Amino acid sequence: MEFKDVIQNRHSYRSFTDRPIGLATLEAIVSDAKQAPSWANAQPWQIVIATGEVLAQIKDGHRLRSRRGVAGNADLTVAHRTEWTAASRNNIATWNGDLSQHLLANDAQSSYGQTQDNLFNAAALVYLVLREPVNEWAIFDLGAFSQTLMLSATNHGIQSIPAYEVVRYPDALRETFALDETHRFIMGIALGYRNQTAINDFRSQRVANQNFLTIKD
């Protein structure tokens, strides 16, 4: 795929088909992702991927907790809206409004919640784990790893979504993978082949460069 096509074709997809992703493909995507830069080449990431039976168990547990209203306790603090700048709050409000309108127009209002409960019916869940001690630069490095991973997935014809929802219950994940408290489940990315469904047709906007870009010469 042309680089510009890879960039333009990466979107957050929220509903995947039952088609599995081959292990060799997952390995290839992770091999691309590890080319990301990191602080002094620290490569702080630990990557845990769930597929098959383990994935099915994780999805069942997640759906149960979510539908029972069990509060999430993600390893990173969920920022209150007042911890975002006015500009970001405005972008978030625009996104919320656009998404609501899209779902209403397609008579699919309940689909957003359903996709979250079902972890997007992902074919694979990629967990981005950091070992304690965690520092802010390592979190930056994980962002670079994540974006490279998602672009590589797109290049392999696989869609993705980075989602807080995937790491909402990290204690259960540590138990599933027999990992101790020093393993922080910072973020998760769902991968799969896209379903033909209204929620997957939603496209988020971007603000004009002048809203955030300064170039001085």
> Which residues make up the interface to ligand FMN (CB under 6 A)?
11-12, 14, 95, 116, 161-165, 204
The residue among 179 and 190 lying less far from ligand FMN, judged by its C-beta, is 190
- 5/27 with CB nearer ligand FMN: 5
Least spacing, CB of residue 187 vs ligand FMN, in Å: 6
Residue nearer to ligand FMN on the CB measure, 24 or 129 = 129
Quickly tell me which residue has 């994540």 as its tokens. 146
Distance CA(170)–CA(181), nearest Å, equals 10
* Token pair in block for residue 159: 């869609």
Cβ closest to ligand FMN, residue 113 vs residue 157:
113
Phi-psi region of 76 (alpha: psi -120 to 50; beta: other; left: phi over 0): beta
Instruction: Give least dist CB 217 to ligand FMN, A.
Output: 30
Both structure tokens of 166: 């995937």
How far apart are the C-alpha atoms of 211 and 192, rounded to whole Å?
A: 34
Decide: 161 and 190 in contact? Cβ < 8 Å.
yes
User: Residue 44 Cβ, how far from ligand FMN at the closest point, in Å?
Assistant: 17
Q: CA quadruple 2, 144, 162, 47: dihedral positive or negative?
A: positive
Please identify, using beta-carbon distances, which residue of 41 and 47 lies nearer to ligand FMN.
47
In this structure, what are the phi and psi dihedrals at residue 179, rounded to the nearest 5 degrees?
-115, 140
d(CA 4, CA 8): 6
Q: Smallest distance, Å, CB 1 to ligand FMN?
A: 17
Least Å distance, CB 80 to ligand FMN, is 15
Least distance in Å: CB of 12 to ligand FMN?
Answer: 3
What's the CA gap between 24 and 112, in Å, rounded? 31
For ligand FMN, give the closer residue by CB, 48 or 99: 99
| DSSP code, position 86 | H
**Judging by beta carbons within 10 Å of its beta carbon (0-12, 13-18, 19+), is residue 41 exposed, middle or buried?**
exposed
